[in-house]
Structure 1
């Protein structure tokens, strides 16, 4: 990366990192509770992947209509096709895994993303994991393990198709974060809302074949559930479009590894929502683990404070945690 590109990156850096971090935390909160409406739709007979495909298709149509004026600014690039496909894998893995498996175990495997993010950020962005960042990743993963591990569930390794689905979704999420960051560096003037369109078109492209493969002709709606299904699909699609547009703001401005840490807040929200909506008890281990994850996300803000120009990272390598 040339010195001029590095200078341009610093010019376009977000001076309000708190706002960017809050946008990521908001998205994490939405996804931390999104498992519940998908399970409701599955209970009404729609099927997990069919629900994901239908919501994604609706969200894609909404985003195309709402952001139609920004579409002219979308430039042809392999980056955006890759971002869409990665988002599709993320969505399919998350939804199918959380609907058909143990929610918290699937999320644990999904949120091994700091490992994948560190690898992909090094490959695509030249970001290196600092010593402080490595400690924060370890703290976050320790918190996840402390909060989610139980003797009945066992060690956090994939044990069935739903858990492998969660792991694959986490890898797709890491790729999506890293490529979104790169797109923000290459096209800093591009409206971030355009990537919302890209994301849900990608989710539709991946979701429809997966629905046909996994659900097929087994979708049979419960008697009288048609209106309820349509209303919930539309409402969920609107919420996801809005939250994704907000998240894109943070993805464009924060290092990929920091985004990965902040998104771990989803596990805390999922644990609380599972306790509240599914009457699952939140044990002291889960609470302590959640606090470790929140602490890691909060401390990452100190690690990533803007450095003076004289101490900036060398060209081509961005110091990030």
Structure 2
């Protein structure tokens, strides 16, 4: 029983986090219906989340020191957040999410140049599989080239690229700034999303702002979403620190299941055969990516004092603390 609790709670934490991300599009559309644009919703909810983390974990501020990786991470998180929010409000949720999940392709590329990881044939094959899934989903004789068909789908694609870059930069940050607390990375992510979305809102036509009762409802939604998303990120941090990275990546794909069900129930969106076929390829590539890149940790040999094995153990420890499978800065 104790063993189940030790292994079951972290898994449940990741599944709950994935469920929140899979349904977050619905309150975002509620905000849009109240007159809060996608960029404004992203800025306000992310700002609320950042303030919540800083208030709750203010003692961790002393672990932060300046490094160019922090503004880079903030920018990548801003693109991630705004791409998902704007795309899910204005587009078909499942198509936007599947384009968002083309991470195996972008991660392999970014990790090669930033982390100096060798681009293997297996990594290239998984990238090709995920891109083939996207092409299957997007191609039609009427539309021609298999590219996103509207701005919402382009936003989802850009958000996915930002997500992959965020994952790589989180791992880089955990190696370069090992003393920095994970919650400060979360605050950086939310803060970057808030600033980027606030700047983007200057270029978006603003509808009439909500007034009266609608203003109160919008304010409570923004505050509630900020608190929910900040708490959700810290909850998933708890799970990711206690679950092997390859298993965590597969668990996080539960988000796609929740999104598909919620889009069908609340928006009447039913994927067609091409969406299903392309989605299977993308999900399969993500799952296989976790398996291919799993880290095998072996007990050290005291007789040989193998330095390379010690390096591998340090890298695996950093991965588990905050690396490839960190919680994304949703909204």
TM-score, normalised to structure 1, is 0.76
What are the ranges of 5 or more consecutive residues in structure 1 without an aligned counterpart? 1-15
CA distance in 2, matches of 1:152, 1:254: 45
Q: Which moved more, 1:65-74 or 1:128-137?
A: 128-137
- 1:237 corresponds to which of 226, 235, 241: 226
Aligned match of 1:273: 262
Aligned match of 2:88: 98
Matched, 1:198 2:181: no
Aligned match of 1:56: 46
Aligned match of 1:175: 165
Q: Check the 8 A contact 2:110/2:164 in 1, yes or no.
A: yes
What is the CA deviation profile of residues 225-279 of structure 1, one whole-angstrom value per residue up to 9, with x for unaligned ones? 1222122211111111022224456778999999877655433322121012213
Distance 1:248 1:296, change over 3 A: same
**Superposition CA RMSD, Å:** 4.0
Aligned match of 1:88: 78
- 2:155 corresponds to which of 134, 157, 165: 165
Distance 1:51 1:278, change over 3 A: same
Distance 1:183 1:196, change over 3 A: same
Distance 1:295 1:173, change over 3 A: closer
* Residue 161 of structure 1: how far off its partner (Å): 2.3
What secondary structure is seen at the aligned counterpart in 2 of 1:176?
helix
Q: Check the 8 A contact 2:14/2:236 in 1, yes or no.
A: yes
Q: Check the 8 A contact 2:28/2:41 in 1, yes or no.
A: yes
What is the CA deviation profile of residues 144-168 of structure 1, one whole-angstrom value per residue up to 9, with x for unaligned ones? 6667878888765123322222222
Matched, 1:126 2:135: no
Q: Check the 8 A contact 2:95/2:275 in 1, yes or no.
A: no
Matched, 1:72 2:62: yes
Distance 1:292 1:130, change over 3 A: same
Q: Which moved more, 1:285-294 or 1:54-63?
A: 285-294
Aligned length: 304
Aligned match of 2:179: 189
What secondary structure is seen at the aligned counterpart in 1 of 2:203?
helix
CA distance in 1, matches of 2:11, 2:284: 14
- 2:36 corresponds to which of 40, 46, 61: 46
Q: Check the 8 A contact 1:121/1:178 in 2, yes or no.
A: yes
Matched, 1:225 2:214: yes
Distance 1:297 1:19, change over 3 A: farther
What are the ranges of 5 or more consecutive residues in structure 2 without an aligned counterpart? 1-5, 301-305, 325-331
Distance 1:106 1:56, change over 3 A: same
* Residue 115 of structure 1: how far off its partner (Å): 1.6
Q: Check the 8 A contact 1:117/1:257 in 2, yes or no.
A: no
TM-score, normalised to structure 2, is 0.74
Aligned match of 1:8: none
